[in-house]
């Protein structure tokens, strides 16, 4: 009897052990999957779950979100982090309504043309929502292929064209099986073949893993350190947005001044929020979330 291939082993494992996440359920449509993929960028599943549930309850279709001002998307985004994703997701919803009659497109080139939708997200939606054969490569997938197939401890800091080629070579020809395999590779990297503490004893491909066969060599390059948050402009931006999210009326600068003592850093963070389209200046002294009220000329 022929031994199961690498992809077959991982896919079988996934069908038995995959986490029961709401955006993976059969009844979920492309819009829900698009929202989940945007939210999951640089954000753990545990934090995304309640936010995704609330978002989909309020805006179950792109047209529902497109009808709202940007301020509501920013407000609903809460503390997920990287709030520009909320603005871009709303812009994508507007484009879906205007260009595709409110339905998330199923062609890769159309998905890539949506605001804020990059190579990974477009391929993920095409594969997971529409069952198409596209390599879907994130950090987890790159790590799995690097270790199990190439025998390397990690895959480097950024996705390269070679990573897409390597992933596509592992995909079955049949589109639905390929989409399943893409999800399986991702899940394996997320819960088993993790960066710091891989659970090799539970891995479906441990017996054919090239990294284990070579003695599990440690990375030779510089270790990527977790990004510091405390004291950074990101923290200050979050504090400023926190105040503005709680109010629908413009907020005076004096109130915003109270969130952070360093005047230069506070000014820089606020200016960054304005430049990013998350906050707008109503006049010399008042600010609000973008679109939170009628247009006002700054004077």
Exactly one of 27, 37, 98, 284 is catalytic; name it: 37
Token pair of 153 as six digits: 């401890």
CB 85 within 8 A of CB 77: yes
CB 181 within 8 A of CB 172: yes
> For this structure, is 37 an active site residue?
yes
- 50, 41, 53: which is closest to 121 by C-alpha? 41
The CA distances from residue 202 to 46, 141, 157, 167, in Å, are 22, 17, 26, 22
CB 271 within 8 A of CB 263: no
Q: How far apart are CA 257 and CA 137, in angstroms?
A: 42
What's the per-residue H, E or C state across 23-84?
HHCCCCCHHHHHHHHHHCCCCCHHHHHHHHHHHHHHCCCHHHHHCCCHHHHHHHHCCCCCCH
| Residues labelled as active-site residues | 37
């Amino acid at each position: 009897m022929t031994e199961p291939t690498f992809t077959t082993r991982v896919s079988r494992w996934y069908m038995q052990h995959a986490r029961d996440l709401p955006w993976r359920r059969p009844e979920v449509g492309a819009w829900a999957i698009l929202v989940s993929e945007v939210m999951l960028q640089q954000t753990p599943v545990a934090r995304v779950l309640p936010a995704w549930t609330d978002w989909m309850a309020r805006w179950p279709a792109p047209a529902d979100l497109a009808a709202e001002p940007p301020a509501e998307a920013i407000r609903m985004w809460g503390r997920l982090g990287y709030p520009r994703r909320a603005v871009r997701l709303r812009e994508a919803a507007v484009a879906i309504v205007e260009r595709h009659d409110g339905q998330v497109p199923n062609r890769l080139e159309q998905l890539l043309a949506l605001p804020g939708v990059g190579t990974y997200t477009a391929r993920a939606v095409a594969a997971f929502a529409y069952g198409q054969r596209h390599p879907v490569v994130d950090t987890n997938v790159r790590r799995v292929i690097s270790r199990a197939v190439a025998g390397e401890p990690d895959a480097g800091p950024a996705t390269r064209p070679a990573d897409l080629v390597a992933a596509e070579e592992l995909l079955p020809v049949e589109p639905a099986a390929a989409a399943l395999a893409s999800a399986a590779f991702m899940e394996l990297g997320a819960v088993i073949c993790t960066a710091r503490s891989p659970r090799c004893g539970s891995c479906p491909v441990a017996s054919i893993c090239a990294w284990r066969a070579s003695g599990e060599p440690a990375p030779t390059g510089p270790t990527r350190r977790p990004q510091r948050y405390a004291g950074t402009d990101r923290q200050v931006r979050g504090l400023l947005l926190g105040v503005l999210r709680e109010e629908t009326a413009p907020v005076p600068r004096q109130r915003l001044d109270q969130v952070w003592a360093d005047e230069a850093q506070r000014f820089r963070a606020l200016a960054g929020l304005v430049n990013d389209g998350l906050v707008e200046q109503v006049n010399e002294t008042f600010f609000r979330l973008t679109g939170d009220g009628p247009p006002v000329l700054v004077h």
